[in-house]
Amino acid sequence: MPVKETDFVSGFAKGLAVIEAFGESDRRLSIADVARKTGLDRATVRRSLLTLVALQYADYDGKFFTLTPRILRLGHSYLSATPLPALLQPHLDLLAEKIGQSSSASVLDDTQVLYIARASQRRVMSINLNPGSRLPAYCSSMGRVLLAALSDAQARDLLARTERHANTDRTLTDIEVIVAELGGVRERGYAIIDQELELGLRSIAVPLKNQRGETIAAMNVGAPAAHISLTQMVADVLPLLKAAAENIRLSLG
């Protein structure tokens, strides 16, 4: 929904941008680091960071700032107010147990997928994934499913705003090539990623739809490439993944 300029609180928006500057590989940041990542001036960044410290959302050692566990309250507010993660979790747990591989669910958050639930059997990526984790949408299986739910024009706009890196020699980065692949995802009803996000990782994802047929989230199964072939992913994993998605759809009422 468009917001009137008079209703937009720029200071609040800048504070959120400062929080979002922190991540898996950027846990300790200086004022200069945050200013560089956000594009904000250093005075604004300094005030925002010191406000976070005063509210106990961040710590400061005299040079570097780090977020405190209190910041989890923000994510907890979303998870508590949204019934979807709680509804999904038992389905993911059962699916992961049946397949013996990790299963996750996510929603699209601008150019990234945001994990909202996960059942972990084993660690298949170099980074640890949990609810709240983010991955780029353009090269992840759940991202492809969620992008396929958009129109081609919407997908192109989002991809144009995405930093598209070739994580491996298999990663698709060209916008038109990705859009063409999204057409295949729509036609097949699933997305499969073969070592585009990280070498040694394969994943397959399906959309989670409500009773009106709208895609509200995506669900996937990830596995080491050495343990499962693409053919096995489609033949053995996909039917179970689709069955779980249908059970979830019926649970939505």
CATH number 2.60.40.10 given to 82-251: no
Please tell me the predicted confidence (pLDDT) of residue 8.
87
* Extents of the domains making up the chain: 5-69, 82-251
What is residue 120's predicted lDDT score, i.e. its pLDDT? 83
pLDDT at residue number 4 = 77
167's tokens: 């994580």
pLDDT in the model for residue 182: 97
For residue 241, give the amino acid letter. L
Taking the C-alpha atoms of residue 43 and residue 214, their distance in angstroms, rounded to an integer, is: 44
Strands (E) located in 183-248: 191-194, 201-209, 215-224
- Give the torsion sign (CA, 86, 209, 147, 145): positive
CATH architecture of 5-69: Orthogonal Bundle (1.10)
Measured between alpha carbons, how far is 49 from 30 in angstroms, rounded to an integer?
A: 10
* pLDDT block averages, 10 residues each, the chain of length 253: 76 91 85 95 95 94 91 68 82 93 92 91 65 91 97 95 94 96 96 94 95 92 92 96 93 74
Instruction: Give residue 195's region: left, alpha or beta (phi > 0; psi -120 to 50).
Output: left
Global confidence as pTM: 0.73
The pLDDT of residue 126 is 55
